[in-house]
Structure 1
């Protein structure tokens, strides 16, 4: 089950530079390498609960394209059922009122509406329903432009589960759907079983304090992925001082927090460069 921190955080400033198109039947945000630069491969971002339209996710796609010279796709795997950005308002409301009676009434109001806002996401975006959509997209990608290019997947929070599932050896026409994967603060993982089934290399950037993956589970993830035989050998790092959502929804006005997000981003780009 997703946690409260899956729906909290900060909205980043900036104007996405990519374009919107249809890729293999899904509305997709597309970010390309700098003009005149040859693409090194394809990265598919499987986002957090706020989905493909969320500005933070689009800015992240732009960063990947620019830093790694990748073609980056951010598809609507949620079929229009991403968590609404109103969830940020609900989260902030819990700390804005000082008067106890006002605080209680504000909390009741926002809890009520938060529950109503999030029900469609939980209903429509259960991985049991969405993973077939994700898998189908990667199958088409591998048969088309991915036939001659490496394919990576970067998953955040909700998307992390899907990256791990993709790494379980899925193929089409004898080719793996995934060359390499990355995930930051993944949610709803079954540990250790989901990790033990990994057959493609996955890099994990884990939060130091995370209701989804405790420190003990983080150590277990690290021990398993680093012991997997090639080509599945992975890596896992716990980023000190971080909480769930740090790679996507960090408060970038704070230098230390911004540095933590940048570290995860660099870890991801370096991993794909290594395996492409």
Structure 2
């Protein structure tokens, strides 16, 4: 099953395969790609295994910054380690040169969670409103940023796409407005976890937006593999959904002339 083709006008203004226009600086102790210059609203964008240097994640940051009128930060949460994006995109996970078992051990939840919390605290100290968006590795992380244990909250809203390492406990403890972008085919965000998300969050008293993307698979929202039917359309729809969510809970978007 594939998503029906979009008309060309749907992609107008969507700068994919472009050149990121942000800058490199520090957030807390982490190197970070930064897009936008809002003094009031920030977004913490947490990458997947493709890392903070992957062009598509930086282009997403550019879009969020412009369309949601925010300053968007993409910190490096892999300690400077960058994997070959072409090998990951094409599923060469078992290649010994990637050393994925070692990579996953070095970047386990308990290792990276403290610095992820630290970057969010740095943004909270500087900005009036803070949102978080995460894909795959970043998915479990944004749930943890939005957990009820943080008082006051570290973030004002979260968007999660195809999360990895997510637990039912993470879902049970979310306490801020939550948006979930869920591809149909996902071996790690399983039907069981999807159902638990859908049934549980509605009982938690927080705004909840669950969006289902038929015909596409895990990693579709930032990978950008044009050879996979429907993936570009899902990527655009996912970007638009995240922007709308950020606007609702962080503030108004800029007025853009037609």
Q: TM-score range by the shorter chain?
A: 0.7 to 0.9
Unaligned runs of 5+ in 2: 1-15, 251-258
Encode CA deviations 1:58-81: one digit per residue, 9 max, x unaligned.
111111112211110001122113
- 1:222 matched to 2:198: yes
For 1:90 and 1:154, how far apart are their aligned partners in 2?
Answer: 24
Aligned with residue 164 of structure 2, among 155, 177, 187: 187
SS at match of 1:65: helix
Structure 1 segments (4+ residues) deviating >6 Å: none
The match for 2:137 is: 158
Gaps of 5+ in 1: 1-11, 93-109
Equivalent in 193, 207, 211 of residue 233 of structure 1: 207
Does 1:18 find its partner at 2:1? Answer: no
How far apart in 1 are the matches of 2:229 and 2:21? 24
Question: How far apart, in 1, do the equivalents of 2:61 and 2:89 lie?
Answer: 25
The answer (yes or no) to whether the contact 1:43–1:152 under 8 Å persists in 2 is yes
Q: Of 170, 177, 199, which aligns to 2:175?
A: 199
1:81-102 Cα offsets, whole Å, 9 max, x none, are: 343325237637xxxxxxxxxx
Where in structure 2 are the equivalents of 1:1-276 lying within 5 Å? Answer: 13-32=17-36, 41-85=41-85, 87-88=87-88, 91=91, 111-114=94-97, 116-143=98-125, 145-146=126-127, 149-171=128-150, 175-191=152-168, 193-229=169-205, 232-252=206-226, 256-276=230-250
Q: What TM-score do you get using the length of structure 1 for normalisation?
A: 0.78
Task: Work out the CA distance in 1 between the residues paired with 2:32 and 2:232.
Answer: 27
Give per-residue Cα distances to partners, 1:159-193, cap 9 Å, x unaligned: 0010001111243xx531110000110111112x2
- CA offsets 1:5-63 (integer angstroms, 9 cap, x no match): xxxxxxx6221111111122211100015xxxx56610110110111111111111111
User: Cα–Cα, structure 1 residues 32 and 211, in superposed 2: closer, same or farther, change >3 Å?
Assistant: same
Choose 1 or 2 for highest CA Rg. Answer: 1
Query: Matched residue of 1:203: which SS?
Result: strand
- Residues 89 and 218 of structure 1: CA distance in aligned 2, closer, same or farther (over 3 Å): closer
8 Å Cα contact 1:81-1:120 kept in structure 2: no
RMSD of the TM alignment (CA)? 2.2
Deviation at 1:262, TM superposition (A): 1.1
- CA 1:208 to 1:235, structure 2 compared with 1: closer, same or farther past 3 Å? same
Q: Which moved more, 1:118-127 or 1:155-164?
A: 118-127
Q: Distance in 2 between matches of 1:89 and 1:239?
A: 19
Q: How many residues align?
A: 235
